[in-house]
Amino acid sequence: MKFEGEYPPNWDLIARAVKAAAGWKCIRCAHQHDLANGYCLTVHHFDGNKSNCVWWNCLALCQRCHLSIQARVDPQQPYMLEHAEWLKPYVAGFYARKYLGMNCTRNEVMAQLDELLALERVA
């Protein structure tokens, strides 16, 4: 995956808001932010663009999951298998942008989740 862009000047506020929205837990493994035990909550930019801070592009992941996902998941590559439940809303938001040119809210994505996920199979 290609990484690009710069963090916006208010990145600290954005990152804190993403983590707070996730309840200060990793959205993949549900582990709490717990520095003493090696679980540092981070924010992963799903499309690799640090300046793109829409909700579907900012995933609250512990550092362990962040490194695993960053190394293995590239949303630009076609993915024909079913996505994990925790990832589906983010993938659907990405597909709405990629295939329809739309920046949907989380509620809009959830209302049409199956249709948006099907866009990759059609393409």
The string of pLDDT tens digits covering residues 91-111 is: 999 999 999 999 999 999 999
Residues 67 and 82 in one domain: no
The pair of three-digit structure tokens given for residue 76, joined into one six-digit string:
């630009």
Could you give the 3-state DSSP secondary structure of residue 112? coil
H or E element at residue 62: strand 58-62
Q: What's the total number of domains in the chain?
A: 2
- The pLDDT of residue 123: 65
Residues 67 and 96 in one domain: no
Residues 68 and 82 in one domain: no
Residues 65 and 25 in one domain: yes
The string of pLDDT tens digits covering residues 19-30 is: 999 999 999 999
Q: How far apart are CA 3 and CA 38, in angstroms?
A: 25
Residues 13 and 68 in one domain: yes
- State the pTM of this model: 0.91
* Residues contacting residue 73 through CB under 8 Å, at least 6 positions apart: 46, 87
The pair of three-digit structure tokens given for residue 55, joined into one six-digit string:
């909700």
